[in-house]
Amino acid sequence: MSTHSNVIPDGEPMVRLRDLSVTFSGGRKPVHAVSGVSLDVRRGEVVALIGESGSGKSVTMRTLLRLHPERRTRIGGQVQVAGRDVLAMPQRELFDFRGKVASMIFQEPLLALDPVYSVGAQIVESIRRHETVSESEARQRALALFERVRIPSPERRLAAYPHEMSGGMRQRAMIALALACKPQLLLADEPTTALDATVQIQILLLLRELQRDLGLSVIFVTHDIGAAVEVADRIAVMYAGRIVEEGTARELIRSPRHPYTIALLKSRAHGALARGARLETIGGAPPDLSALPPGCAFAERCALANDMCRAAQPAAVELAPNHRARCIRTDAAAAIAPVLVA
Ligand SMILES: Nc1ncnc2c1ncn2[C@@H]1O[C@H](COP(=O)(O)OP(=O)(O)OP(=O)(O)O)[C@@H](O)[C@H]1O
Ligand SMILES: [Mg+2]
């Protein structure tokens, strides 16, 4: 098989992370942003990554496109996307890979779009960088993309500069740009956080529709558990650089078994929790990533933690097919899980 083939070998997931670790060495002490993350995303599957600020969600996403500053970043483990070894890819191939196999949409499109070119020009440029097509053909495709993401007056809007668009329009334009070279994997890093509530829902619905129509695999980072349940097939919960619980969206919401997931669910203000459930905030702060404890990183904040939790890193426990948690207190955790209404 050619290394440039976009065909995934039989049985291979779209994304396969094995024991991924990412350490930044620029500052005074090394920062262990991601530790021992293993995750598969199947073709056509939507996986949501959730967790508090600083838990390593964006670092994990950026690793999939190898976007970190190479000199100050140490990456361990395996990163495979569409059957390709991302960490071993030569620069030339990486260039082709970004946009054509996997592409990313960000929270703030103003930072990702080039302010001095019209959005249309950026899409045309991206298409022509990856494919041998004429200018007019690329323009036609850009127009079709704008229609696809339902930007009104698409012809006129293609000539607009990013700052001339509203936040919602800009995010649609960013999605069009990300889809320009027909990627198979879309990485969406909090794509709706910067938008107001009604626009958030519209963008979420658009993403879900595009994912289904185009058969995309998606990793979707969000702080909003409600949004994760709405769009994702599976949810992975990150804490201090590790995936602490992972399962189908339904299983994870109905039977959360890691005390951190439970705390996150209980901190939700509305939605599928029992009536009268109090809004709880998670006490304490996440650990210093340059001085991680030997045991479970959540132990410090966990009401169920014992000496064993603090002594060693808990292994992943298989709770059901497709449901795992890194916790030795999952039985006790079951008793404090929130009860769903439906
Ligand atoms: N290039 C870098 N150099 C040093 N540290 C970094 C670098 N990039 C990220 N970090 C650190 O890695 C940790 C994880 O960051 P990351 O951006 O993945 O968090 P996150 O889960 O995406 O949080 P948020 O929800 O706020 O976006 C943070 O402590 C961050 O400061
Ligand atoms: Mg982030």
pLDDT digits (tens, 9 = 90+) for 17-52: 999 999 999 889 999 999 999 999 999 999 999 999
Stated pTM of the model: 0.92
pLDDT at 274: 47
Q: b/e for 23-59, b at 16 or more Cβ within 10 A?
A: bbeeeeeebbbbbbbbbbbbeebbbbbbbbebbbbbb
- Percent share of the chain, pLDDT over 90: 77
Ligand 2 (ion): residues with CB under 5 Å are: 58
Res 216 pLDDT > 90: yes
Q: Work out the burial of residue 20: count CB atoms within 10 Å of its CB; fewer than 13 is exposed, 13-18 middle, 19 or more buried.
A: buried
**What is the average pLDDT value for the chain, to the nearest integer?**
91
Closest residue by Cα to atom 8, ligand 1, is 59
Cβ atoms of 319 and 325 closer than 8 Å: yes
* 81 vs 71: CA distance, rounded Å: 22
- pLDDT of res. 267: 79
Classify residue 259: in a domain, yes or no: yes
State percent of the chain over pLDDT 70: 93
pLDDT of residue 317: 96
How would residue 226 be classed by pLDDT, with cut points 50, 70 and 90?
A: confident
What's the gap between Cα 195 and its chain centre?
18
17 alpha carbon to ligand 1 midpoint, in Å? Answer: 18
Q: Could you give the C-alpha distances from 143 to 119, 120, 171, in angstroms and in order?
A: 11, 8, 16
The CATH number of whichever domain residue 231 belongs to comes to 3.40.50.300
Flag whether 178 is in a domain.
Answer: no
**Statement: residue 53 has pLDDT above 60:** yes
Let me know if residue 50 belongs to a domain. yes
248 burial (CB, 10 Å; 0-12 / 13-18 / 19+) is middle
pLDDT given at position 194? 83
In SS3 terms, 175-233 reads as HHHHHCCCCCEEEEECCCCCCCHHHHHHHHHHHHHHHHHHCCEEEEECCCHHHHHHHCC
State yes or no: pLDDT of 2 exceeds 50: no
Q: 68 lies in a domain?
A: yes
Cβ atoms 29, 205 nearer than 8 A: no
Q: Which residue's CA is the closest to the ligand 1 atom numbered 7?
A: 24
Instruction: Return the ligand number nearest the Cα of 56.
Output: 1
Counting ligand 1 atoms within 8 A of each CB, the residue from 58, 61, 68, 244 with the most, and so the one to mutate, is 58
Q: How confident is the model at residue 269 (pLDDT cuts 50, 70, 90)?
A: low
Question: How far, in Å, from the CA of 260 to the mean position of ligand 2?
Answer: 18
Answer whether residue 100 shows pLDDT above 60: yes
Q: Is the pLDDT of residue 273 over 50?
A: no
Residues with CB under 6 A from ligand 1: 24, 26, 31, 33, 51, 53-59, 289
Is the Cα dihedral 183, 184, 189, 194 positive or negative?
positive
Residues with Cβ within 8 Å of residue 265, at least 6 apart in sequence: 225, 253, 256, 273, 337, 338
pLDDT at 162 over 50: yes
Q: Is the pLDDT of residue 197 over 90?
A: no
Please state, in angstroms and as integers, the Cα–Cα distance from residue 316 to each residue in 54, 98, 109, 244, 254, following that order. Answer: 22, 32, 36, 8, 19
pLDDT in tens, 300-323: 999 999 999 999 999 999 999 999
Report the distance separating Cα 128 and Cα 109, nearest Å.
21
Poorest-pLDDT segment among 56-65, 110-119, 206-215: 110-119
Domain assignment present for residue 129? The answer is: no
pLDDT band at 136 (very low <50, low <70, confident <90, very high): very high
Any domain includes 61? yes
pLDDT of 65 strictly over 70: yes
Strands, sheet with 31-41, edge to edge from the N-terminal-most edge strand: 31-41, 15-24, 73-81, 84-85
* Mean per-residue pLDDT, 283-292: 94
Domain that holds residue 66: 15-101+183-336
In the chain, the amino acid numbered 183 is P
pLDDT of residue 198: 87
Q: Is 194 within a domain?
A: yes
The domain total for the chain is 1
Q: Using the atom order of ligand 1, give the atom closest to the CA of residue 52.
A: 25
Q: Nearest to residue 244, comparing CAs of 146, 147, 323, 182? A: 323
For the chain, what percentages of helix, strand and coil (3-state, to nearest 5) are there?
40, 20, 40
Question: For residue 341, is it within any domain?
Answer: no
Tokens of 340: 């769903």
Helix, strand, or coil (residue 2): coil
Q: Which residue from 57, 63, 242 has its CB within 8 A of the most atoms of ligand 1, so it is best to mutate?
A: 57
Across residues 119-146, what is the average pLDDT? Answer: 96
